[in-house]
A and B are shown apart, each in its own frame.
Chain A
Amino acid sequence: MSLTYTPVSEIPKIVQGLRSAFNAGVTRSLDYRKQQLRAMYNMISENDTAIREAVFQDLHKPPAELMIGESGMVKQECIDAIKNLDKWAANRSVKTGIVNKFDNVHIRKDPLGMVLIIGAWNYPLNLLLAPAVGAIAAGNTVLLKPSEVAPHTAALLTKLLPAYLDQRAYRIVNGAAAETTLLLEHKFDHIFYTGSGQVGRIIMGAAAKQLTPVTLELGGKSPAFISRDVDIAITARRLAFGKFFNCGQTCIAPDYLIVERGIEDKLIEAFKASILEFYGTSVQSSNSYGRIVNKSHFLRLKGLLDETKGKIVAGGEMDEDNLFISPTLVLGVDKDDKLMEGEIFGPILPLMVVDRLVEGVKHVNQGDQPLALYVFSKNKKAIDYILDHTRSGGVVVNDALVHFIVSNLPFGGTGPSGIGNYHGKRSFDVFSHERSALIKSMGMEKLNDLRYPPYSEKKTRWLDWFLFDKASFGGKAAVDAPPSNTHSSNSSTVNEASSISSNPNGRTSSPSLPENQHRKAAAKSENGNISHAPEASTATATTTV
């Protein structure tokens, strides 16, 4: 199956169609959204074999990795969204201050509109469809742009999607840089991009022209700290799992290890044992090991290994025709090594040996914030120290990768590793606008007179006292009391107020009652003044401007 790019001339029509479908309210009803999510679930579960084949052709991805890392997760996201949609989409009522006490105050969850989702090639199914679940659940119309670097999956999805989802509201556009650039010229209400920081910058720059909000799921050099006290065999096993899953082409794969001096040799032996256990003596013939996605990435990785000053202590075999690179460990890598420059994104694992983990913390803080950070240790203090003194998108202690599949944990980066997060309810939130709604009654206008001009000092004090809490700490200045020093008549109002509020039947608004009466009197006298003024004068002079 080869991938046909969407003709450039068709793109405006597709975008227009999605826009009008949103404006017509096609995607607003919750039943409709649930039905579409069900269809998405069915699309994946009914075409398991076809999906397996497509992703295998793109990445040589073993079915188990597809299930754990892609199809199973998307299905789970669908299930969660269907199950919780009523709850997520319900208006959230909020506590109110005293001014709006009698009014209806809530937060609506409105869809953003028409959104664009740009997928990545390393998990071509998951990273396109998991965000789409959130977008559909939130009631948006969605334009999907699968990665052209995984053409088989893109072609399959282009074929399957129209058969399951509503074509008015959900469309796919295929293409490479030229098509994407063109897409970005259109005005979307949100852009969700998964990929590299370099492209992330271009996308955010393009979004700036239209002030479109973005979610950027990027990457970074995710470090793994390993302290001396760990169970080395288990640590190596979990890290080998995390690093060699999808042949290291995972945004949260452990990028390099920061190992406390003394255990590196044992750790390498344990790694070798795990690799042997996982993939057998000939990794290349194992069904459980993926391949590099294409030649340019293969050559990039090969270049890294050629230029590194470290020593290859395991693996290092390559087969260009097969795009195969074996699980490779590189020892003796220092800060300036080629391997420590960019995100590796392949099955090469450098080991940086340090005397104390604090050095590692320093090293991590000198670079950009990574997307994930891993700590292997039994010492709670050491763990807390590392967590408190570093920044990263997410953290896993004593394991790798697994936080990705916990839908209750928001997944996303910080700084150069990404903007915004998703999964579970967060996916819904990403594509929703929290629209604050305050519905007031038309009554009690006399009470509102306080806030209208003409203003007076007395009014100010009353309002301050009435509207707001007082500082919860010992402020230097005493908190203003309600007006008491301007007129002697005021003190009686205050007394009245306090007497009413001490009345068990008095409501919270009781202090307003005497004020209300007081204001009434004031308003009367002011009205009296005003009525002397000739009414015409406000309407006549229109000349000056």
Chain B
Amino acid sequence: MTTAILNYHTEAEIDQAVLTVQQTFRSGYTRPLKFRRHQLEQLWRLIDDNTDALCDALYKDLRKPQYEATLGELITAKEEINDALVHLDEWAKDERTTPSFVNRVGTTCIKRKEPKGAVLVIAPWNYPVYLALTPLVGAIAAGCTAVLKPSEVTPHSAKLIAELIPRYLDNKAFIVVNGGAQETTQLLDHKWDHIFYTGNGTVAKIIMKAAAKHLTSMTLELGGKSPVTIDENANMTVAAKRIAFGKTFNAGQTCVAPDYILITAKAEEKFVPALKQAYLEMFGADPQASKDYARIVNTRHFKRLCNVLMENKSGDVVIGGQADEDDLYIAPTVIANVERDDKLMEEEIFGPLLPLIRVTDIDDAIEYVNSKDDPLALYIFSTNKKLVNKVLDSTRSGGVLVNDTLMHVSEGTLPFGGTGPSGMGSYHGKSSFDAFTHVRSTMIKGLSPVMESAMGLRYAPYTARNLSVAKMILETIPQFKRGFLQKYIKWIIVAVLFGVHYARNRRLS
């Protein structure tokens, strides 16, 4: 199948692509660090040389403002590449560990960082460039080969990526496959060494089931209803601005966008006017006319959002509410005093609708958050340290951000990922490298006969005497049962045994 804009790959092409990346990996072509570094540099150049074209495609797909495209997609992706380039040697280096007592002499223990193999990266439509290229950065850095499947929902970006990747990256190792559900299913029939999927829970279940057939490891970056709690004493102007920023960035189509707000009636009185003011400052009186406000990705999602709003029985629309189907425009909309089990609270909103849920106090808010699935992000606005810690200790979420929204995603050193239904595994920075790396525990011993006789204890025939000696050497006495002398007893025994052994050998010779 093929759409007006995007050419889908044929069955034969897909099989060939998979075969190519698998064979390339097996040949060891992508293992040298030099190769990986060069590919990362090329990926950086891909973004840098084609900034305008990429921004243009993103504008066509999502009417993404250039500012958001640059900030939320291109710079952030380039930054990941820089980070990987700076740290690649350090990440890929063998790690030495201390062997346990028995193995201490004459043994080297190493954690080798080996590429997992040929991997599949499936990208979503909301950040079509960033969420396609960033996982790829991890795969390249780790030494894997990859097939990248961009989202067909944003065809302009997918098409551009499919054109650019072959021009910049090695065609044997990194291949773009375009297509819809059918093509993805075909890809999933193959045996991968890792699958990296960003998207929704429903598809993730299908992917995990397919992965189970081949026992393939996965990273699943999903979403969830990320709540915001606002303390009554927080600075409402600042809180409102930061929440407005997070909710309207990409028109709310962000996996970590604040989904709903838990607030007391008293705080709401101050918060709603502050939010109104924030929206006004950001987009002017008519957000539709603002060049800085994105659109809903397609008619299907537009209708979904309108339906959610229409079927929602409770609450008052206090800000926004306008929509224009021809333009796929939905205004930044705030609905106050929504009931806890209403339509808006069922699924992740993924659009610029922001429900406010009234709570009596923080315990009430915590209880509500815990009654739902673990969200991908949790936002707390408060300067009260005790209250913040209480929320942190008694809730679960992928990540936590206090007094802001979205910004934790840009922090490369923080692993980004969900827990439970909001995802599995994490990435960004070193975590990206680790996601595509197998830590291969390696132990290297010598074959010297002297050491061999010292190891005689572990071989059969097992005698009671040997067992008690072995026990004394192998077993650590736990600290909670340990006296002063017992701390060193092991070393003393070994010293004596070696002494005896040495003396005996001398006598024999």
Contacts and interface: CB of A to CB of B under 8 A. Distances in A.
Asked if chains A and B come from one complex, the reply is: yes
Interface of A: 23, 25, 28, 38, 41, 62-65, 67-68, 72, 75-76, 78-79, 82-83, 94-97, 99-100, 105, 107-108, 110, 112-113, 189, 197, 200-201, 204-205, 207-209, 211-213, 216, 218, 230-231, 234-235, 237, 241, 244, 274, 277-280, 286-289, 365, 376, 378, 383, 387-389, 391-399, 402-403, 405-411, 414-416, 418-421, 433-442, 445, 448, 451-457, 459-460, 463-464, 467-473, 475-477, 526-527, 530, 533-535, 537-539, 541-545
B467 A67 contact: yes
A514 to B, nearest CB: 21
Interface string B400-432: 111110011011111111011100111000000
Given A378-B447, A396-B445, A452-B282, A438 B461 contact: no
B369 to A, nearest CB: 12
A38 B482 CA distance: 13
A214 B48 CA distance: 39
11 contacts: A113-B396, A277-B459, A278-B461, A402-B102, A409-B109, A411-B441, A439-B401, A441-B403, A456-B67, A471-B41, A472-B85
Given A211-B421, A403-B443, A72 B452 contact: no
B341 interface: no
Interface stretch (B70-78, B125-133, B495-503): B70-78
A287 B399 CA distance: 55
A395 B215 contact: no
B36 interface: no
Given A438-B400, A527-B281, A538-B280, A476 B49 contact: yes
Interface string B209-228: 10111111100101000000
Interface of B: 26, 28, 31, 37, 41, 44-45, 48-49, 65-68, 70-71, 75, 78-79, 81-83, 85-86, 97-100, 102-103, 109, 111-112, 114, 116-117, 193, 201, 204-205, 208-209, 211-217, 220, 222, 234-235, 237-239, 241-242, 244-245, 248, 276, 279-286, 290-293, 306, 309-310, 317-324, 330, 333, 370, 381, 383, 388, 392-394, 396-404, 407-408, 410-417, 419-421, 424-426, 438-447, 449, 452, 458-462, 466-467, 470-471, 474-476, 478-480
A211 B205 contact: yes
B462 A65 contact: yes
Given A396-B445, A409-B443, A453-B292, A538 B319 contact: yes
Given A287-B462, A421-B441, A460-B70, 19 more contacts: A67-B470, A75-B476, A108-B400, A208-B205, A211-B424, A216-B215, A286-B460, A405-B100, A410-B441, A435-B396, A437-B392, A437-B408, A454-B283, A464-B71, A538-B276, A544-B321, A544-B324, A545-B306, A545-B321
Contacts of B421: 211
A63 B462 CA distance: 8
B49 A477 contact: yes
Contacts of A539: 276, 318-319
8 nearest A-B pairs in the assembled complex, by CB-CB distance: A455-B67, A288-B460, A208-B208, A204-B212, A64-B462, A278-B460, A542-B321, A453-B292
Contacts of B281: 452, 526-527, 530
A112 B467 contact: no
Contacts of A212: 420
A542 B404 contact: no
A515 to B, nearest CB: 16
Contacts of A463: 71, 75
Nearest to A439: B402
B73 to A, nearest CB: 12
Contact of B67 (A280, A393, A459): A459
Contacts of A230: 447
Given A234-B449, A544-B321, A406 B97 contact: yes
A430 to B, nearest CB: 12
Contacts of B408: 436-438
A160 B322 CA distance: 65
A408 B98 contact: yes
A211 B48 contact: no
Contacts of B276: 538-539
A435 B399 contact: yes
A30 B81 CA distance: 39
Contact of B290 (A398, A415, A454): A454
A438 B388 CA distance: 11
Contacts of B400: 108, 435-438
A8 B86 CA distance: 56
A456 B71 CA distance: 12
B444 A398 contact: yes
B443 A397 contact: yes
A112 B420 CA distance: 8
A67 B402 CA distance: 49
**Highest count of chain A CB atoms <10 Å: which of B317, B321, B370:** B321
A435 B244 CA distance: 24
A439 B388 contact: yes
A223 B291 CA distance: 63
Contacts of B479: 79, 82-83
A538 B471 contact: no
A62 B460 contact: yes
A28 B419 CA distance: 17
Contacts of A388: 28, 31
A408 B97 contact: yes
A411 B408 CA distance: 32
B447 A235 contact: yes
A471 B85 contact: yes
B444 A397 contact: yes
B109 A468 contact: no
A454 B290 CA distance: 8
A376 B44 contact: no
A396 B443 contact: yes
A208 B283 CA distance: 42
**Highest count of chain B CB atoms <10 Å: which of A83, A205, A473, A526:** A473
**Highest count of chain A CB atoms <10 Å: which of B78, B394, B413:** B413
A436 B419 CA distance: 11
B396 A442 contact: no
Given A112-B419, A454-B283, A477-B49, A63 B204 contact: no
Nearest to A415: B193
A420 B216 CA distance: 11
Contacts of A286: 460-461
A408 B467 contact: no
B280 A435 contact: no
A212 B276 CA distance: 40
Nearest to A275: B460
A72 B440 CA distance: 24
Contacts of A439: 388, 401-403
B414 A113 contact: no
Nearest to B235: A442
A211 B201 contact: yes
Contacts of B444: 383, 396-398
B476 A76 contact: yes
A451 B474 CA distance: 59
A475 B424 contact: no
Given A100-B411, A437-B399, A469 B82 contact: yes
A211 B75 contact: no
A35 to B, nearest CB: 10
Nearest to B213: A201
Nearest to B72: A451
A207 to B, nearest CB: 7
Contacts of B45: 475-477
B447 A475 contact: no
B97 to A, nearest CB: 4
A412 B501 CA distance: 36
Contacts of A235: 447
Contacts of B241: 445, 448, 452
Contacts of A392: 440
Contacts of B466: 64
Contact of B441 (A41, A75, A288, A394): A394
Contact of A407 (B71, B100, B323, B442): B100
